[in-house]
Amino acid sequence: MRLRLDPQDDLLHAADADVNFNESRYYNFFDAPTGLGGWVRMGNRPNQGYAEMTVCLYLPDGRVGFMFKRPSIDSHEAHDAGGLRFEVLEPFTEHRVSYDGKVCLLDQPREMTDPKSAFSSNPHEPALLDLRVVAVGGMFGGEPEYEEGEQPPTGTAHGFARGHTEQHMAITGVAEIGAQRFELTAGLGLRDQSWGPRVWQSIPWYRWLNASFGSLGIACTLRGVEGSPKPSVNGFVYDIERYGHNKPIPVREIDLHTDYEAGFAAANSVVVRTDDHAYELHGVITATIPLRNRREGRVTRITEGMTRWTCESHEGGGLSEYLDQIVDEVPVGFTAGV
């Protein structure tokens, strides 16, 4: 597959006519010295007149500060709504993330299975983020380009993204939640960007795993394909110690085993294979928050698990994101054994 990827793709793309057009940016991080982790996302839906804004902060004591809003927007010129703002200071190299607002502070993050009850029964605290996000790994992804008559490969999700990029980053700055202040000095994480029509119900299930170790970074997706027993595989590794550069190396195979507790992933083991090496990762999910999207009677659950990862001699952090369509109150990926 031919992919177009140039610095212009780190900026915003013109919206097409599809009512579900979405352009989103996402950043996650884990700072080992403070024990604070988190992720933020904003998806502009200019043809529907709003943005999806999410802030999720994992405190060292197990609590989670969370906020979701759909602020109105009247253009697609920036990711800047609901108190959350993303700035591209230098494409492919440096971004800035800032937030000034509130979060719902959850002692039991899984209460978010019922968002209305969770938001009304837990305290809301002021929160502030000011983060510098600098590249440590090379860019991965882009937008596929097809010649006339060519067909997208099996497993392409037409309703999820037309273009998609990912990159491992180093994160420094300040986070405040209520009276607590965290100085981030050694944060590592990953950012991604996607554009095109987004319908959360277009994929039966996926498991998106990303781990950051500094000189090593891994991000991979195992995704269910409608009508096929074989999931699709996508992802990349950068490994400066092994290869002497930070360019992405494609992932060829993923073997995943998940340990579940009460229907939620609690730990996972995964073997990620490139053409010339197998990386064995073990993750312990320290806090999980379930999110929900409903459309035309269908329910999608996306669980976001802050994860402490080990890989060979490396220790780091990242996220385990599990998306499932819910059928008869059961996540379909759980039924599929992943």
Residue 259 sits in which domain range?
A: 16-149+157-335
pLDDT tens-digit map of 289-324: 999 999 999 999 999 999 999 999 999 999 999 999
- How confident is the model over 111-133, as a mean pLDDT? 97
Task: Say how far apart CA 121 and CA 127 lie, in whole Å.
Answer: 18
- How confident is the model over 34-63, as a mean pLDDT? 98
**How much of the chain is helix, strand and coil, in % rounded to 5?**
10, 65, 30
- How confident is the model over 151-160, as a mean pLDDT? 56
What are all long-range contacts of 286-289, with beta carbons under 8 Å and residues at least 24 apart?
A: 286/58, 286/62, 287/58, 287/62, 287/64, 287/109, 288/109, 288/110, 288/264, 289/56, 289/64, 289/66, 289/106, 289/109, 289/110, 289/112
Mean pLDDT rounded to a whole number for the chain: 94
> How many independent structural domains does the chain possess?
1
pTM, 2 dp: 0.95
Q: Classify residue 296: in a domain, yes or no.
A: yes
Q: What is the pLDDT of residue 1?
A: 62
Task: Say how far apart CA 109 and CA 112 lie, in whole Å.
Answer: 6
How far from chain centre, in Å, is Cα 42? Answer: 11
Q: Is 78:95 a contact under the CB 8 Å cutoff? A: no
| DSSP state letter for 201 | G
pLDDT tens-digit map of 69-101: 999 999 999 999 999 999 999 999 999 999 999
Single-letter code of the amino acid located at 181? R
Per-residue confidence at 156, pLDDT binned at 50, 70, 90? very low
- % residues pLDDT > 90 (the chain): 90
Q: What is the pLDDT of residue 118?
A: 98
| Res 146 pLDDT > 80 | no
Q: Classify residue 217: in a domain, yes or no.
A: yes
For 110, the 3-state DSSP assignment is: helix
The counts of H helices and E strands in the chain are 3, 22
Which residue, among 124, 117, 78, 72, has the nearest Cα to 103 in the 3D structure?
A: 124
Residues in the chain: 338
Burial code (b: 16+ CB inside 10 Å, e: under 16) for 40-60 equals bbbbbbbeeebbbbbbbbbbe
Q: What are the φ and ψ backbone dihedral angles of 121, each rounded to 5 degrees? A: -105, 0
Q: Classify residue 201: in a domain, yes or no.
A: yes
Q: What is the pLDDT of residue 149?
A: 60
Q: Classify residue 8: in a domain, yes or no.
A: no
Q: Classify residue 259: in a domain, yes or no.
A: yes
| Res 155 pLDDT > 80 | no
- % residues pLDDT > 70 (the chain): 96
- Of 181-195, 219-233, 272-286, the poorest mean pLDDT is in 219-233
Q: How many CB atoms lie within 10 A of CB 133?
A: 24
DSSP secondary structure, 124-152, as one string: EEEEEEEEEEEE-S--EEEEEE--TT--P
- How confident is the model over 262-278, as a mean pLDDT? 96
Q: Classify residue 280: in a domain, yes or no.
A: yes
Q: What is the pLDDT of residue 188?
A: 98
Cβ burial, residue 6 (10 Å; 0-12/13-18/19+): exposed
Residues 6+ apart with CB under 8 A from 317: 30, 32, 37, 188, 189, 211, 212, 306, 307, 308, 309
Q: Classify residue 4: in a domain, yes or no.
A: no
The CATH number covering residue 315 comes to 2.40.370.10
- How confident is the model over 258-273, as a mean pLDDT? 96
Q: Classify residue 205: in a domain, yes or no.
A: yes
